[in-house]
Amino acid sequence: MADQTPSPETLTQVEYRPRAKNWLDPHVEFRRGTFCYSALPKSLKALDLPNPREWQPFHRDWKLPPDWKAIILEGMKDRLDRFRSFRLFMDICVRCGACADKCHFYLGSGDPKNMPVVRAELIRSVYRRYFTTAGRLFGEAVGARELTEDVLKEWFYYFYQCTECRRCSVFCPYGIDTAEVTMIGRELLNLVGCNINWVLEPVANCFRTGNHLGVQPHGFKDSIDFAVDELEEITGVRIEAPINKKGAEILFVVPSADYFASPHYYTLLGYLLLFHEIGLDYTFSAFASEGGNFGLFTSHEMIKRLNAKIYAEAKRLGVKWILGGECGHMWRVLHQYMDTMNGPADFLEVPVSPVTGTRFDNTASTRMVHICEFTADLVRHNRLRLDPTRNDKWRVTFHDSCNPARAMGLLEEPRYLIRATCRHFHEMPENTIREQTFCCGSGSGLGTDENLEMRLRGGFPRANAVRYVHERHGVNLLACICAIDKATLPPLLEYWVPGVEVAGIHELVGNALIVKGGRERTTDLRGDPFEREAPAAEEEPVHA
């Protein structure tokens, strides 16, 4: 037998060019660091979801139910009938390519299947095969594919690689919202038990205790009490933070990370100080203790189930209207789905600021106001005394969180608040902010540790723009109004732009806010000394 050992000359002939691959080929490699682990059976059981079992994406056998294919196709048919948008998105794409280079995952990874048009084609090709005449007759010749296990695995890989940020939809001339295609893709995967733990465990927790972390009412109270104690240490003022107070005027709903994680916690301190200063009659709820809704990343039914608690608590506590904290996808649900799913909220009143008298007619259907709208209104009416020099150590830029920016158009209020509370504000380049903002790369339940490598790819376009203002203007703080951003931008920036920290807008408000009573403040809400660039004693606060 001839010697098969390659010669040294052969070994040095390295082919650096990747092999050309047909997009119809569904095979994917589940490399650790680039996907999320599967959901634990206990979470599926808690939610009555199908096919609870032990499995992982890198296993060969996914332990699918025997009739998985029929389940998926039947689920697809059902959704094509129920959601006109889904049917349209399957039919009207002309492959113009306007979206192709708009996805942060494509820009960061270079994987062509992360082009939104191709990601949608993964499901569209199956639609063609089973739901169109041309697809049935001509198969691959018209871009139609059989639904196989490999296709299902490919769906899992790529639909849990889309953060549903909707940047691509801004550029689509037909208005195709690829995030909605991803949502349907995930719904279908859920029908056969293919889901990720970072989504389903929070969903199960939220269904059980009212928040993603599974914090029970006494734990919730402990966290809030701890914040109240810390605020007293920082300001000398003892505040009240009511929980489950019946008859309060306003129900205040925040993402649970605000009372458990860093840097979210400093935003919570900012809210509490602000509400004390204006004497707001509000209450937290230990049951509606989560604004976030990972149902959005599971199914429409799950969105509704989890969201229902907010109106239920508003009714139980007898409040007049609802105020919501700094969160991202929470606002997509509240702004675009809540009223349809769990409304009408006719037992609530159209929100009116008790301080300024402003009537928030824009929330006439949901009766829920964003904290940035509320606080910007206070500043606009000169109801707050603010000392921006207290934030002098920060050179601030603002990351438009995808959902508040693109799903509800909240673009100006956060900027207005930054300008009122800081003296150094620098925008990132125009095509990376506002409606065109780049995602953090970790939204829609992908912010898990095992997926960090993929998140660093997806977050690179955002980090690249931060690096630009960091090098050009010395920016050292990235402000944002999303709990997922606050959790996932710090690791992103540690890797790509060391030296830039992350904060919520209301942390900056809390720093700058001059409160009645108490003692002269010397530290910010993080407990760090103020680093004013000019003596503040003789300066008049900008908004007093």
What residue has token string 């380049």?
429
Asked whether position 132 contacts another protein by CB under 8 A, the answer is: no
Asked whether position 14 contacts another protein by CB under 8 A, the answer is: yes
- Among residue numbers 395 through 454, which ones bind another protein (CB under 8 A)? 429, 431-432, 449, 452-453
For 42, 104, 291, the CA distances from 197, given in Å and listed in that order, are 10, 23, 19
Binding mask 197-226 for another protein (x = CB under 8 A): -------------------------xx--x
3-class DSSP assignment, residue 137: helix
Q: Which is nearer to another protein, 263 or 295 (CB)?
A: 263
542, 378 in Cβ contact below 8 A?
Answer: no
Enter the tokens of residue 138: 């001509």
3-class DSSP assignment, residue 515: coil
Among 490, 514, 518, 536, binds another protein (CB under 8 A): 490
Enter the tokens of residue 366: 């949901």
Q: How far apart are CA 202 and CA 487, in angstroms?
A: 15
Binding mask 65-104 for another protein (x = CB under 8 A): -----------------------------------xx---
Q: How far apart are CA 389 and CA 112, in angstroms?
A: 47
Quick one: DSSP state of residue 407?
I
190, 298 in Cβ contact below 8 A?
Answer: yes
Give every CB contact of residue 153 below 8 A, 6+ residues apart in sequence.
26, 28, 30, 57, 62
Nearest distance from residue 283's CB to another protein, in Å? 20
Q: How far apart are CA 439 and CA 381, in angstroms?
A: 33
Binding span for another protein by CB under 8 A among 82-90, 151-159, 242-250, 258-266: 258-266
Asked whether position 461 contacts another protein by CB under 8 A, the answer is: yes
Enter the tokens of residue 338: 């809540």
Q: Which is nearer to another protein, 342 or 444 (CB)?
A: 444
Q: Where are the beta strands (DSSP E) in 275-376?
A: 282-283, 321-324, 368-370
Q: Which is nearer to another protein, 262 or 340 (CB)?
A: 262
Enter the tokens of residue 250: 């306003």
Asked whether position 21 contacts another protein by CB under 8 A, the answer is: yes
Among 175, 344, 499, 517, binds another protein (CB under 8 A): 499
Asked whether position 27 contacts another protein by CB under 8 A, the answer is: no
Asked whether position 259 contacts another protein by CB under 8 A, the answer is: yes
Nearest distance from residue 534's CB to another protein, in Å? 26
What is the enclosing helix (H) or strand (E) of 335?
Answer: helix 329-336
User: What one-letter code names the amino acid at 541?
Assistant: P
Quick one: DSSP state of residue 337?
T
What residue has token string 């025997």?
66
Q: Which is nearer to another protein, 96 or 534 (CB)?
A: 96
Binding mask 263-302 for another protein (x = CB under 8 A): x-x-------------------------------------
Asked whether position 262 contacts another protein by CB under 8 A, the answer is: yes
Nearest distance from residue 52's CB to another protein, in Å? 25
65, 50 in Cβ contact below 8 A?
Answer: yes
Q: How far apart are CA 164 and CA 184, in angstroms?
A: 11
Asked whether position 469 contacts another protein by CB under 8 A, the answer is: no
Asked whether position 488 contacts another protein by CB under 8 A, the answer is: yes
Q: Which is nearer to another protein, 51 or 109 (CB)?
A: 109
3-class DSSP assignment, residue 22: coil
Q: Which is nearer to another protein, 445 or 491 (CB)?
A: 491
Q: Which is nearer to another protein, 4 or 16 (CB)?
A: 16
Q: Which is nearer to another protein, 2 or 20 (CB)?
A: 20
Asked whether position 460 contacts another protein by CB under 8 A, the answer is: yes
Q: How far apart are CA 540 and CA 523, in angstroms?
A: 19
Among 197, 216, 365, 464, binds another protein (CB under 8 A): 464
Q: How far apart are CA 489 and CA 463, in angstroms?
A: 9
Nearest distance from residue 124's CB to another protein, in Å? 18
Enter the tokens of residue 125: 């090709």
Which residues are near another protein by CB under 8 A? 14, 16-18, 20-21, 31, 33-34, 100-101, 106-112, 115, 222-223, 226-227, 257, 259-263, 265, 429, 431-432, 449, 452-453, 456-457, 460-461, 464-465, 468, 487-488, 490-491, 494-496, 498-499
